[in-house]
Homo-oligomer: A and B are copies of this chain.
Amino acid sequence: MDTEDEFLIGPTHRELLDQVLDKWSLSVLSELCERPCRFNELRRAIPQVTQKSLTATLRRLERNGVVEREVVSTRPVAIRYRITPLGKTLRPPIDVLLAWASANMPAITRARDAFDLREEESRMGG
């Protein structure tokens, strides 16, 4: 237990969430929650990701135990990535996050517009 009485985040949790919720992880996990995928399937499903970043993301997720890399010994070997049981437990949190994003997108867009407008005005009047 920490000495803090309230909820504080701490470097350990921060680091973990960084690894599991980073730029491409959410998309990869979303894909793999639906079905196991091969490398190039994932690339096609997430067109913006580069090969390099996808490789890095998969390695990181594998290291953290939420994704599993399976070598299928067919002719020119296939690699199959699948979500692990531990990885599946991430889905509710992710869904809550996505639900929040969907529900509040309009309010956030309004907030951004208002902020940008105030900024612009202060540049002119300031």
- Other-chain contact of A97, B34, B48, B63, B97 (Cβ < 8 Å): B97
B34 touches A9 (CB 8 A): no
A48 touches B11 (CB 8 A): yes
A26 touches B7 (CB 8 A): no
> Copy number of this protein in the oligomer?
2
Main secondary structure on chain A at its contact with chain B?
Answer: helix
| Bound-state Cα–Cα, A86 to B109, Å | 12
Residues of chain B within 8 A of A5, CB atoms compared: 34
B65 touches A16 (CB 8 A): no
Given contacts A9-B27, A105-B12, contact A97 B86 (CB under 8 A): no
Instruction: List 13 A–B pairs whose Cβ atoms lie within 8 Å, in order of A's numbering.
Output: A5-B34, A7-B95, A9-B27, A13-B102, A14-B27, A16-B105, A17-B97, A17-B101, A64-B108, A64-B112, A86-B107, A92-B100, A96-B96
Residues of A within 8 A of B (CB): 5-9, 11-14, 16-18, 21, 23, 26-27, 30, 34, 45, 48, 62-66, 86, 89-90, 92-93, 95-98, 100-105, 107-108, 110-112, 114-116
